[in-house]
């Protein structure tokens, strides 16, 4: 039986029409097991993509969500939130991660699903930008694709033929933990790899084969070939949660 009971309530075709990576609802439900979200809280959903996770947060926890994304148009997201009946709780925002329009200390929590690796893997993003958005005692949570452990060249030999430049931000949970912990800004409350990451990632990879044919000049099989090449089981989906001191 699927352990993601809340996610299972959502229509599979609605998910696959709007996902932009391995099932974001599974990743979020896993993360939420490490957070304490209560109705009325203000939550930043950073890199929400087409807003599946924002809809889930509003419906499942009654929180107010600022659904922030770069690649996806806020007007398109608003239409999705209307159709999902959550437009009173979810506000679509189009903003780049380094130029966010929010006041410091505004949010009770900031979460990010399969997105933080695009902008948050440097030394200063957390202390100088991200952490400031959340109030004292507020919560942070991310789920990122990564590696079970660090490798000298950044990737395991089995995956050397697949490593794209933007994948150098794939890191281990231990690496992410140190990145935040050393700032002294937050206490890390959870940091672990989701068991059986390929079980979650593979349906997305299969969907890409069927739906991304000829997109970006490819045949849509990149994720599938990437996962199959990982014979050392070095790929991870890393969960990290923290509380601001
Ligand atoms: C792989 S998609 C995942 C989207 C969604 N969370 C999901 O799982 O379906 C990564 C998302 O991160 C967002 N993103 C990437 N770089 C960003 C940046 N510099 N500022 C804000 N958002 C960014 C993109 O707009 C994109 O929607």
Ligand 1 centre distance from Cα of residue 3 (Å): 25
**Averaged pLDDT of the chain:** 96
Ligand 1 atom with the smallest distance to the CA of 53 is 6
- The mean pLDDT value for 115-129 works out to 98
**What percentage of residues in the chain have a pLDDT greater than 90?**
95
Alpha-carbon span 76 to 174, nearest angstrom: 37
152 contact partners, CB below 8 Å, separation of at least 6 = none
From the alpha carbon of 112, which atom of ligand 1 is closest? 6
Res 219: pLDDT: 81
pTM of the model: 0.97
List pLDDT tens digits, range 75-111: 999 999 999 999 999 999 999 999 999 999 999 999 9
pLDDT tens digit sequence for 184-223: 999 999 999 999 999 999 999 999 998 977 555 578 899 9
Distance of alpha carbon 45 from alpha carbon 181, whole angstroms: 22
Topology at the third CATH level for domain 7-197+234-244: Rossmann fold (3.40.50)
What SS3 state is found at 86?
A: coil
For residue 53, the CA-to-ligand 1 centroid distance in Å is: 12
* CA of 48, closest atom in ligand 1: 6
Torsion of CA 94, 194, 233, 198, to 10 degrees: -70
Using CA atoms, how far apart are residues 242 and 245, in angstroms rounded to an integer?
A: 9
Region 225-237 average pLDDT: 97
Q: Which sequence spans correspond to the domains of the chain? A: 7-197+234-244
Q: Is 24 in the pocket of ligand 1 (CB under 6 A)?
A: yes
């Amino acid at each position: 039986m699927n352990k993601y009971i809340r996610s299972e309530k959502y229509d599979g075709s609605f998910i696959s029409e709007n996902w932009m990576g391995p099932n974001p609802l599974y990743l979020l439900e896993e993360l939420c097991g490490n957070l304490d979200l209560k109705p009325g809280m203000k939550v930043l959903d950073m890199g929400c993509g087409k807003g599946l996770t924002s809809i889930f947060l509003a419906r499942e926890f009654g929180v107010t969500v600022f659904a922030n994304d770069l690649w996806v148009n806020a007007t398109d997201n608003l239409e999705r939130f209307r159709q999902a009946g959550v437009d009173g709780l979810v506000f679509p925002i189009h903003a780049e991660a380094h130029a966010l329009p929010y006041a410091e200390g505004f949010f009770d929590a900031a979460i990010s699903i399969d997105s933080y690796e695009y902008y948050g893997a440097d030394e200063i993003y957390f202390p100088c930008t991200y952490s400031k958005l959340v109030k004292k005692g507020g919560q942070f949570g991310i789920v990122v694709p990564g590696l079970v452990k660090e490798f000298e060249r950044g990737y395991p030999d089995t995956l050397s033929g697949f490593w794209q430049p933007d994948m150098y931000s794939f890191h281990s949970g231990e690496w992410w933990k140190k990145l935040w912990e050393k700032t002294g800004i937050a206490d890390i409350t959870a940091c672990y790899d989701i068991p059986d990451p390929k079980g979650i990632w593979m349906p997305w990879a299969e969907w890409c084969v069927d739906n991304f044919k000829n997109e970006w000049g490819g045949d849509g099989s990149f994720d599938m070939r990437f996962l199959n090449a990982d014979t050392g089981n070095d790929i991870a989906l890393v969960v990290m949660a923290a509380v601001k001191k």
